[in-house]
Amino acid sequence: MRAFMVERYGAETGVHAAEVPQPKVGVDDVLVRIHAASVNPLDLKVRDGDFKVILPYRVPFVLGNDLAGTVVEVGSAVTRFSVGDEVYSRPDKDRIGTFAELIAVHQDDVAPKPTTLTMAEAASLPLVALTAWQALVERAHVRPGQKVLIHAGSGGVGTIAIQLAKHLGAQVATTTSTANLDVVKSLGADVVVDYKRQAFETVLHDYDVVLDSLGGENLEKSLRVLKPGGKVISIAGPPDAAFARELGANPVLRTAMAALSFRIRRRARRRRVTYEFLFMQAGGDQLRELTALVDAGAIRPVIDRAFPFESTREALEYVGKGRAKAGKVVVTMT
């Protein structure tokens, strides 16, 4: 089958199209013929070797973390799916490889595709929608009436997180550029801060939750907008000890991760707020919850641009150079 492989870390030229063997299907796996996949910043970080310590993939390997497609084979122990089912998934971090014609995925990481979406639209959702769900529902337990700030509202995570937070009954603020003010307003944002004209930390206050996807100085400023007892959840900040435990890291790595986040955790404590790092996990049951929300009209995907599968490298470059204006970039099979 055709696939796009990372043959060496650290360069755009390290990704190449290749013919690779068809995946082996385990007893709990479904084999999916991929109709569409999407590009995430995570793909670029994996390609460049930024996550080698926690995601030690051995080159060469197939890149890609999102898919939508059709089940063409099921393992002997599979009970949730049948051949012909239309599905979507974010495979487990140890089994990525969606920039390919076929992939074998554990049945627990797969969900029925929303019936209201095309394959390309469905492929844009799993990673970002699971990230939003795990941040706002699992970690923050967002309740009606709370105030939630979502950074980079026109990005892949932001576009879904705004809609999910509104569904949960929150008052939602977001940051975005001038060009995307109308986009985030159309998604339901109550307060929009144009970061090119305003400093969000000077105009927002008493927030319960911040979802940070930018890290760095933006993360530190986010502490200032929280009320006492508030929480900032970051997908771009330094990892913490809790994440190291989830990862099953050895004591040395746990200590190192705790040290990386010591400064931001200390600053958070001084303001009587908390900091958490989130690295989203695959989850078919959560995707089923999201499927229901999509089909009910509570969440809709935002697609920036679609590339043909043969142009996957160009799609990666397009995302890597920040050319996407709003939402996700997808690649579609012919």
Task: Enumerate domains of the chain plus CATH numbers.
Answer: 2-124+302-332 (3.90.180.10), 127-277 (3.40.50.720)
Which tens digit of pLDDT belongs to each residue from 71-101? 999 999 999 999 999 999 999 999 999 999 9
DSSP string, 239-260: --HHHHHHHT--HHHHHHHHHH
> Average pLDDT for residues 157-186, to the nearest whole number?
98
Residues of the chain with pLDDT > 70, as a percent, come to 100
Which tens digit of pLDDT belongs to each residue from 6-47? 999 987 778 999 999 999 999 999 999 999 999 999 999 999
> Average pLDDT for residues 112-123, to the nearest whole number?
98
Amino acid at 251: P
pLDDT of residue 257: 83
Coil vs helix vs strand at 287: helix
Give residue 286's Cα distance to chain centre.
Answer: 13
Structural contact between residues 330 and 36, judged by C-beta atoms closer than 8 angstroms: yes
Coil vs helix vs strand at 35: strand
CA atoms within 13 A of residue 320's CA, in its CB half-sphere: 15
Q: How confident is the model at residue 250 (pLDDT cuts 50, 70, 90)?
A: confident
Q: What's this model's pTM, rounded to 2 decimal places?
A: 0.96
Neighbours of 286 (CB within 10 A): 20
